């Protein structure tokens, strides 16, 4: 009996384990290192299959197993995931990537929760939503880092959003340390706009508690068989001179007017001796073909499931990466003497944020820290932050770095930490079982409620009328009818779904706005930030240089453009649904029936 119980506990612990057979990634100076002390270079792929319809990445475990194997065979070691739902389970996907030696960079913002560049605000709702993402992914050893924002600042007029974007960094680092999580790096992904160099300096300036741990920017300047000088990569290399944190391209892979596909000759420069002493790699846009010519593979199913077809770009990128394996320097031999950048000076023509401007941080008020030190084992067991003990509101200490040569590194795992890991696993199992029982009970209650509707219960409809379910009845009593989604809250407004704009500022719905007002995507040419015609055009960003002139503004990245196309389609479907619902309600009120 005892043996069977032991087997059950072992299986239960295995079920709640996350990725464990992979060293963690940490930062020393301007470089990434594995916890084994080897320098780490990013060979990444933007991974959000079916991004036009799938906003909850890393939830289909079976599909992740198929894709992770192919991504590993491609030669990639990192995927960037733009949108996740932290309340869902990601174990199967994260383990699939870990088993193939692949790390994950997660964007904390989503189409619903992100900083609005036009009317920037940093609210408790946003803070709590971002903290949930950290909660949901901090237990995976193959999480390389989090992006606190993507292309929020793209010209002089939107630099006013910079303090809000940096407040995200400060508050999320404070939350991470309060909860005694692994010191997972938190960075920012910038547009390659005319103000990119100021953005690069701004997110690096200040003390460690408010500055980013790494900086990425989206650049599509190297097209076809270009060169260091022609593409502007020589300038990019100069711009990174003396930069004290890791810097890399968070999106790249120009496909502009390339009839024979992308040759990816830029990889020889980025991962070769010309740039790899200052840059830590790049992320290729993108894994799945979404109708914009950037895909490495294509799926026959609209849901992007099943085994995809390998495209020519996949093979060409695979060939390039097969010859590029930079080793860099060992952490123990690396002794950086770098300093942080100064905050950019305020100017009316390019950067309107004062050097001494304070950040609108919210702090960690309302969060509960664990009472004792969190387990530092690398077993990857998901441990709850509130398991056992009395809660306190004071900031907890952070465990030491695992990088060799770091004086804070621990030489062995204490027995108490192992016991804590086992206890955490049991607590995690209990939480999972409790959640299953809760949802089963809710399911039974919903069935019973709907059964009452069908049988003419309290919410049943009179003859010839449309029945309401219990949730609709509550909405009717409250004087509101509409989809129960955050982005449709408010009267006569629609919320931006662009991950670079977010939910903070409600804007007039297109059907209620006059020409040239409301969403700038629907404005007349020259009146909005992004004319509708630009959504159909190829994207090509011009590289910037310190002191050199460039285009007056930056077009959004292909990912942002795809999100806007999704929003337009969604708005059209919502308009049709609302018209149909209005007709039904009018008939029920006597407009078309008795």
- Domain residue ranges of the chain, discontinuous segments joined by +: 35-333, 470-591
Q: What is the pLDDT of residue 21?
A: 75
- Quote the Cα angle for 99-375-100, to 5°: 5
Q: What's the predicted TM-score (pTM) here?
A: 0.66
Q: Which of 26, 99, 208, 251 is catalytic?
A: 251
CA distance 512 to 541: 34
Q: What is the pLDDT of residue 95?
A: 98
Predicted local distance difference test score (pLDDT) of residue 430: 73
Which one of 151, 290, 521, 567 is the catalytic residue? 151
Q: Domain 35-333 sits in which CATH superfamily?
A: Glycosidases (3.20.20.80)
Query: pLDDT tens per residue, the chain (594 residues)?
Result: 444 444 544 444 444 444 457 999 999 999 999 999 999 999 999 999 987 667 788 999 999 999 999 999 999 999 999 999 999 999 999 999 999 999 999 999 998 999 999 999 999 999 999 999 999 999 999 999 999 999 999 999 999 999 999 999 999 999 999 999 999 999 999 999 999 999 999 999 999 999 999 999 999 999 999 999 999 999 999 999 999 999 999 999 998 878 889 999 999 999 999 999 999 999 999 999 988 899 999 999 888 999 999 999 999 999 999 999 999 999 999 999 999 999 999 999 999 999 999 999 999 999 999 987 765 443 333 333 333 333 333 333 333 333 433 333 333 344 444 555 556 677 677 778 777 777 676 666 655 544 443 444 444 444 444 444 444 444 444 443 333 333 333 333 333 334 333 333 333 333 333 333 333 333 333 333 333 333 333 433 334 444 443 444 556 777 676 666 666 776 676 677 677 767 767 666 654 444
Residue 117: is it exposed, middle or buried by C-beta count within 10 angstroms (0-12/13-18/19+)? buried
Q: How far apart are the first and last CA of the chain?
A: 69
151 in catalytic set: yes
Q: What Å distances lie between residue 472 and 453, 468, 502, CA to CA?
A: 11, 6, 27
CA distance 42 to 145: 12
Q: Report the side by side order of strands in the sheet with 31-34.
A: 25-28, 31-34, 39-40
Q: What sign does the dihedral 527-113-78-291 (CA atoms) show?
A: negative
Alpha-carbon distance of 108 to 149, in angstroms, equals 7
Spatial CB neighbours of 249, under 8 Å, sequence gap ≥ 6: 216, 217, 218, 219, 270, 279, 281, 282, 283
User: For residue 395, what is the DSSP state?
Assistant: P
572 catalytic per annotation: no
Structure tokens at 583: 């007709």
Neighbours of 289 (CB within 10 A): 19
Backbone angles phi, psi at 333, to 5 degrees: -100, 0
């Amino acid at each position: 009996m005892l043996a069977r119980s032991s087997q059950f506990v072992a299986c239960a612990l295995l079920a709640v384990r996350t990725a464990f057979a992979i060293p963690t990634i940490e930062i020393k100076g301007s470089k990434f290192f594995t916890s084994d002390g080897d320098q780490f270079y990013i060979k990444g792929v933007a991974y959000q299959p079916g991004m036009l319809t799938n906003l909850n990445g890393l939830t289909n475990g079976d599909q992740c197993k198929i894709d992770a194997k192919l991504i590993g065979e491609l030669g990639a070691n990192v995927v960037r995931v733009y949108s996740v739902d932290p309340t869902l389970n990601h174990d199967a996907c994260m383990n699939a990537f870990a088993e193939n030696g692949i790390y994950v960079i997660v964007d904390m913002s989503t189409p619903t929760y992100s900083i609005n560049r036009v009317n920037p605000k940093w609210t408790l709702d946003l803070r709590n939503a971002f903290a949930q993402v950290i909660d949901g992914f901090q237990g995976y050893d193959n999480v390389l880092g989090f992006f606190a924002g993507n292309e929020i600042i793209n010209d002089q007029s939107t630099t006013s959003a910079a303090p809000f974007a940096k407040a995200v960094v400060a508050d999320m680092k404070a939350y991470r340390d309060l909860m005694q999580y692994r010191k997972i790096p938190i960075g920012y992904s910038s547009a390659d706009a005319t103000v990119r160099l100021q953005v690069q300096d701004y997110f690096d300036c200040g003390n460690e508690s408010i500055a980013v741990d790494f900086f990425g920017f989206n650049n599509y300047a190297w097209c076809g068989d270009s060169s260091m000088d022609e593409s502007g990569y020589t300038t990019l290399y100069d711009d990174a001179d003396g930069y004290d944190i890791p810097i890399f391209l968070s999106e790249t892979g120009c496909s502009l007017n390339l009839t024979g596909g992308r040759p990816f000759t830029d990889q020889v420069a980025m991962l070769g001796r010309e740039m790899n002493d200052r840059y830590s790699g790049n992320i290729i846009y993108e894994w799945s073909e979404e109708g914009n010519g950037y895909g490495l593979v294509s799926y026959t199913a609209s849901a992007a499931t099943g085994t995809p077809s390998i495209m020519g770009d996949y093979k060409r990128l695979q060939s390039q990466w097969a010859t590029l394996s930079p080793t860099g320097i060992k952490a123990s031999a690396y002794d950086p003497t770098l300093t942080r950048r100064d905050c950019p000076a305020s100017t009316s023509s390019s950067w309107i944020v004062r050097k001494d401007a304070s950040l609108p941080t919210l702090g960690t008020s309302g969060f509960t820290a664990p009472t004792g030190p969190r387990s530092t084992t690398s077993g990857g067991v998901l441990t709850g932050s509130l398991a056992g003990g009395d809660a306190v509101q004071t900031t907890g200490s952070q465990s030491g770095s695992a990088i060799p040569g770091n004086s804070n590194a621990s030489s062995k795992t204490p027995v108490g930490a192992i016991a804590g890991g086992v206890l955490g696993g049991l607590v995690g199992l209990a939480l999972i079982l409790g959640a299953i029982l809760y949802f089963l009970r809710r399911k039974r209650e919903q069935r019973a409620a709907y059964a009452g509707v069908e049988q003419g219960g309290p919410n049943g409809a009179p003859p010839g009328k449309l029945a309401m379910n219990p949730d609709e009845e509550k909405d009717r009593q409250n004087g509101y009818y509409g989809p129960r989604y955050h982005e449709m809250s408010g009267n006569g407004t629609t919320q931006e779904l662009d991950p670079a704009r977010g939910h903070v500022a409600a804007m007039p719905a297109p059907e209620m706005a006059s020409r040239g007002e409301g969403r700038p995507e629907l404005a007349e040419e020259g009146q909005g930030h992004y004319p509708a015609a630009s959504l159909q055009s190829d994207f090509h960003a011009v590289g910037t240089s310190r002191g050199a002139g460039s285009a007056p503004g930056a077009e959004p990245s292909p990912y942002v453009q795809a999100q806007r196309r999704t929003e337009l389609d969604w708005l059209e479907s919502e308009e049709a649904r609302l018209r149909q619902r209005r007709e039904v309600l009018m008939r029920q009120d006597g407009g078309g029936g008795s």
